DNA sequence: TTTTCGATTTTGACGCAACAAAAAAATCGA
DNA sequence: TCGATTTTTTTGTTGCGTCAAAATCGAAAA
């Protein structure tokens, strides 16, 4: 993945700077849920951790903040975002529109001989769930979704979707383990594969949309409970 | 508009830095088409132009590049983006999904007593077209669209749509004056207002979508001609 | 005339230090 | 013990010099 990222950078013409490494690592940690929502990240800490001076470290944090992978809590403090209910709802509606489109486009470009690869990913999700390795299940789940999206031949769309996942990533990882991932996602994924077999992009789109909606309902449930606690 | 931007910054907690002014001005110039696609922007030029040192100037350019308002042409050169046909198509499909959603949501929040304000904007578009002041017509056209979007109560969605407009802004401004804006957009806008009168968000959405599609066809036409020239 | 190669100039990235502002800690008073 | 206020520390931003790399221009060769 990081190599793909680099090649993307190169394609866009940007040479690899020192801070890019910090950016990549931080971004991956954010998606994987290595940071807790609300955690503060400072320039000097990043600089020391990666052995850089302040300029490239600040660049990395700035970039993440601009992409909303981090947010400003005060004039001088960037933290890992903590989604509100209304933000979660909004992101979900955008995901339905964007990922529905990407799934449908991607489905038209996926031939039947690529289905085994998808099933392999799904098996990894199931295995991870059995081991209660939720972080890994979430990661494989991302791979499953983007297997469709990345074949849509719409790089801008994929990048935009990735930004949405980045926004909700930390909260997602923080919330799900507590509640455990329901198996409802499994049947939606199977329905998507089934749609692929039928050569019906609409069916794939509907399955992915249902998957997003189901995930939303669970997340909303956990999130609203947590709000009540406070 | 710039005040609204500032308040947005403040709401998100970020204190105003020196480079923010350069960022805001550059961004507005980009949307208004003051730069030609392909034009190169350098750190030192921006620094001198705004009376800053290189660091905040570089920050401003970096931010614009991250938001894709500028793109990398080489490892050390950022330029005003020049859309390809496939990028235009992709952005259009995303606009249909996102702005369709925003228009529908916004329409449900617009009461009938706000229709006159919309008609005022439409009149400004017509007047600008009569005077062949295309840049101004384009600007008013943006206001018309975002009149709906901004009332959707979905700030993340609106920001994402704005980024898409920023991507195509320079090319848009560069292409349209040559061809003149067709009046087809006018009828679509009227249809949107009509939908508002009927209290039918779906009708509004359909009208906006048709407007986007019409604009796309014209832009594609001009753009493909220009490709042949080269 | 076109292309290729090399020298010159320009440019962005980075490190570092100084500064101002915000956050955190400690102190004091009730 | 709690809250407000002052002191201390931490932190982001900025300015500027340096350096390596890329872009540009020109000359020479095909």
Walk me through the domains of chain A, giving residue ranges and CATH numbers.
2-79 (1.10.10.10), 85-229 (1.20.120.530)
Residues in chain B, how many?
Answer: 230
The pLDDT assigned to A209 comes to: 98
DSSP β-ladder status, A40-41 and A77-79: antiparallel
Q: What is the mean pLDDT of residues A92-118?
A: 97
Q: Of the candidates B71, B155, B157, which has its C-beta nearest A12's C-beta? A: B71
Distances (CA, A) of B11 to A72, A163, B186: 9, 21, 36
CB contact under 8 A, B59 and A62: yes
Give the pLDDT confidence score for residue B32 in this predicted structure: 87
The interaxial angle of helices B155-179 and B134-149, nearest 10 deg, is 160
Strand D neighbours with CB under 7 A? A 15, 41-45, 54-55, 58, 61-62, 76-78; B 14-15, 17-19, 40, 52-56, 59, 73-77
Q: What is the pLDDT of residue B148?
A: 98
Q: Is the CB of B45 under 7 A from strand C?
A: yes
CA nearest to A216, candidates A94, A34, A35, A132: A94
Residue of A nearest to B55 (CA): A55
Min Cα distance A130 → chain B (Å) is 36
Is A88:A223 a contact under the CB 8 Å cutoff?
yes
pLDDT in tens, B17-53: 899 999 999 999 998 889 999 999 999 999 999 999 9
Phi, psi (deg, nearest 5) at residue A109: -100, 0
At residue A117, the pLDDT reads 97
pLDDT value for A176 = 72
DSSP helix/strand/coil, B40: strand
Contacts of B117 (CB under 8 A, 6+ apart): B147
Contacts of B38 (CB under 8 A, 6+ apart): B73, B79, B80, B82
Q: Is A116 on the interface with B (CB under 8 A)?
A: no
Q: CB-based contact (8 Å) between A112 and chain B?
A: no
Query: For residue A207, what are the contacts with CB-CB under 8 A and spacing of at least 6?
Result: A188, A189, A191, A192, A194, A195
Q: Name the token pair of A162.
A: 């990735």
pLDDT of residue B179: 56
Over residues A93-108, the mean pLDDT reads 98
What's the pLDDT score for residue B7?
A: 40
Give dist(CA B83, CA B88) in Å, integer.
6
Chain C, protein-covered positions (CB within 7 A): 10-17, 21-24
User: Tell me, what's the pLDDT at A9?
Assistant: 44
Nearest to A71 by CA among B65, B10, B13: B13
**Helix, strand, or coil (residue B69):** coil
From CA B169, how far away is CA A162, in angstroms rounded?
Answer: 23
B219 Cβ contact partners less than 8 Å away, ≥ 6 residues apart: B88, B171, B172, B175, B176
> Do the Cβ atoms of A79 and A70 come closer than 8 Å?
yes
3-state class (DSSP) for residue A33? coil
Average of per-residue pLDDT across A187-193: 96
A93–B98 C-beta distance less than 8 A: no
In angstroms, rounded to a whole number, what is the distance separating the alpha carbons of residues B31 and B33?
Answer: 5
pLDDT at residue B132 in the model: 86
DSSP B78: E
Residues 6 or more apart whose CB falls under 8 angstroms from that of A74 comprise B13
**pLDDT above 70 (res A93):** yes
Interchain pair B97, A93: CB under 8 A: no
| C-alpha–C-alpha distance, residues B158 and B155, integer Å | 5
How many CB atoms neighbour CB A54 within 10 A? 12
CB contact under 8 A, B75 and A13: yes
- Spacing of C-alpha B228 from chain mean position: 26
CA distance to A1, A96, A122, per residue, from A201 (Å) = 26, 15, 19
Q: Would you state the pLDDT for residue B182?
A: 67
pLDDT surpassing 50 at residue A223: yes
Q: Could you check: is the Cβ of residue B15 within 7 Å of any atom of nucleic acid strand C?
A: yes
Residue A151 in contact with residue A110, Cβ under 8 Å? Answer: yes
Classify A14 as helix, strand or coil.
coil
A63-92 pLDDT per residue, tens:
999 999 999 998 889 999 989 999 999 999
Confidence label for A171 from pLDDT (cuts 50, 70 and 90) = confident
How far: B31 CA to D19 C1' (Å)?
36
Partner residues linked to A77 by β-bridges:
A74
* pLDDT number for residue A3: 38
Q: Residues of chain B whose pLDDT is less than 70? A: 1-13, 177-182, 228-230
Q: Is the pLDDT of residue A127 over 70?
A: yes
Q: What is the Cα–Cα distance from B49 to B56, expressed in whole angstroms?
A: 12
């Amino acid at each position: 993945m990081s190599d793909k990222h680099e090649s993307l950078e190169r394609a866009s013409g940007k040479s690899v700077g020192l801070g890019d490494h910090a950016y990549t690592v931080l971004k991956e940690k954010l998606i994987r849920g290595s940071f807790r929502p609300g955690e503060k990240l400072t320039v000097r800490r990043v600089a020391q951790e990666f052995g850089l001076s302040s300029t490239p470290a600040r660049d990395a944090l700035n970039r993440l903040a601009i992409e909303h992978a981090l947010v400003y809590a005060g004039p001088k403090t960037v933290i890992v975002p903590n989604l509100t209910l209304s933000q979660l709802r909004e992101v979900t509606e955008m995901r339905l529109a964007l990922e529905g489109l990407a799934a449908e486009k991607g489905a038209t470009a996926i031939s039947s001989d690529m289905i085994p690869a998808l099933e392999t990913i799904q098996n990894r999700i199931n295995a991870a769930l059995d081991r209660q390795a939720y972080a890994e299940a979430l990661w494989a789940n991302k791979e499953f979704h983007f297997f469709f999206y990345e074949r849509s031949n719409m790089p801008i769309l994929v990048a935009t979707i990735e930004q949405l996942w980045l926004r909700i990533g930390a909260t997602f990882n923080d919330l799900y383990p507590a509640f455990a991932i329901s198996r409802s996602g499994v049947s939606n994924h199977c329905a998507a594969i089934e749609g692929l077999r039928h050569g019906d992009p609409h069916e794939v789109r509907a399955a992915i949309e249902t998957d997003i909606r189901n995930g939303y309902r669970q997340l909303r449930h956990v999130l609203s409970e947590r709000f009540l606690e406070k």
